[in-house]
Amino acid sequence: MTAKNLRLASFDVGTDDLRWWAPEILERYADGFYTMHQQLFAEVCAQSEPDDLGGTTLKSVELIKFEPRKGHYPSDAELADLDGIVISGTASGAYDQDEWILQLQAVLRNYHQRQIKLSGFSFAPQILAQALGGKVDRNPPGTELSVVTIQLSEAARSYFGTDRTAYAIQVHHNDGIIQLPAEAASLGTSGVTEYLGWMLGGHILAFSGHPEYSRDPWILERMMRAERRDNLVSAQHIDYGLRDLWLPTDYVWQTQQQFRFFLGQCSL
């Protein structure tokens, strides 16, 4: 068995949204998504056994914060010292024409060409798809939120080397991937959203599911109540989502698969 530390860049593109959306979240998570992901990774790392991670003892996961919305990216020297990049969620759309989104797409295309490991949640599969020739738009069936069951594709089962056919996780999205990039494989579907994440080679693994919300459903509860208050999502959707919000999820399993990806144990 081997022992390993992971050193990852955290591309925080969503914390600025919390300041107007649900600022009370920042009272519990001072640095927003960065703090959420730090706590998530530390918890799952501590409770994972070598058998969970392909025989590897994961000693620690270090996150280094970068803020693409402010043009803050790793230097080439910093990239060389990283095991990969994690992209957070955001209220923005991958198809928006904001300067920072267009710059992020260009950076991701460069990273893809260099086979730098790219992962993340929610916005991550959308921005990566949009950057690499796929298409993102408003999700045709509409908003999807709260706990969903993802039916894993055959490609995903092979990718993760699992007999598991499905898993539960929290999601929160109004947009959806309409077309995957060339050679990408679907992670799976909920029956509402066609592509709930995708994989490409051994260097891209992007999840629609939010393990940080699943670890602490209070986060999504605050977001959903703010959306109802501001009429951003229908009250019916919110009431339905709140009903299932605290159901058990498999966020530990999803995070362990993400660790295995960064450890080089997953590939198409």
pLDDT tens track for 192-251: 999 999 999 999 999 999 999 999 999 999 999 999 998 888 888 898 889 999 999 999
For residue 84, give every residue at least 6 positions away whose Cβ sits within 8 Å of its Cβ, in sequence order, or none. 6, 8, 9, 116, 117, 118, 119, 261, 262
Task: Indicate the domain borders of the chain.
Answer: 2-262
- Look at residue 235 in the predicted model and tell me its pLDDT: 87
Q: What percent of the chain has pLDDT over 70?
A: 100
Tell if the pTM clears 0.95, that is, is over it: yes
Q: Is 134 buried (19+), middle (13-18) or exposed (0-12) by CB count in 10 A?
A: buried
pLDDT tens track for 115-165: 999 999 999 999 999 999 999 999 998 889 999 999 999 999 999 999 999
Q: Strand 144-152 relative to strand 166-173: parallel, antiparallel, unpaired? A: antiparallel
Tokens of 31: 């640095």
pLDDT tens track for 43-89: 999 999 999 999 999 999 999 999 999 999 999 999 999 999 999 99
CA proximity to 130, closest of 163, 105, 147? 105
- Look at residue 240 in the predicted model and tell me its pLDDT: 87
Superfamily for domain range 2-262: Class I glutamine amidotransferase (GATase) domain (3.40.50.880)
Cα–Cα separations (whole angstroms), residue 146 to 49, 168, 170, 247, 248? 29, 10, 5, 9, 11
262 — pLDDT class (breaks 50, 70, 90):
very high
- The answer to whether the CB of 138 falls within 8 A of the CB of 217 is no
261 — pLDDT class (breaks 50, 70, 90):
very high
- Look at residue 142 in the predicted model and tell me its pLDDT: 87
Instruction: Give how far the C-alpha of residue 140 lies from the chain's centroid of Cα atoms, to the nearest Å.
Output: 21
d(CA 257, CA 100) in angstroms, rounded, equals: 29
4 — pLDDT class (breaks 50, 70, 90):
very high
Q: What percent of the chain has pLDDT over 90?
A: 90
d(CA 74, CA 203) in angstroms, rounded, equals: 17
Alpha helix stretches (DSSP H) within the chain: 15-21, 25-28, 33-47, 76-80, 99-113, 123-131, 154-160, 211-215, 218-229, 235-244, 251-262
3-state secondary structure of 203: coil
In this model, does residue 1 exceed pLDDT 80? Answer: no
- Look at residue 243 in the predicted model and tell me its pLDDT: 93
- The answer to whether the CB of 17 falls within 8 A of the CB of 91 is yes
Tokens of 112: 């893809």
The DSSP line for 81-106 is T-SEEEE---SS-TT---HHHHHHHH
268 — pLDDT class (breaks 50, 70, 90):
confident
- Look at residue 232 in the predicted model and tell me its pLDDT: 85
The number of beta carbons lying within 10 Å of the beta carbon of residue 25 is 23
If you search the block for the tokens 């020739």, which residue do you land on?
133
Cα–Cα separations (whole angstroms), residue 207 to 59, 85, 134, 166, 225? 24, 13, 16, 14, 24
Higher pLDDT, 191 or 113: 113
- Encoded amino acid at 182, one letter: A
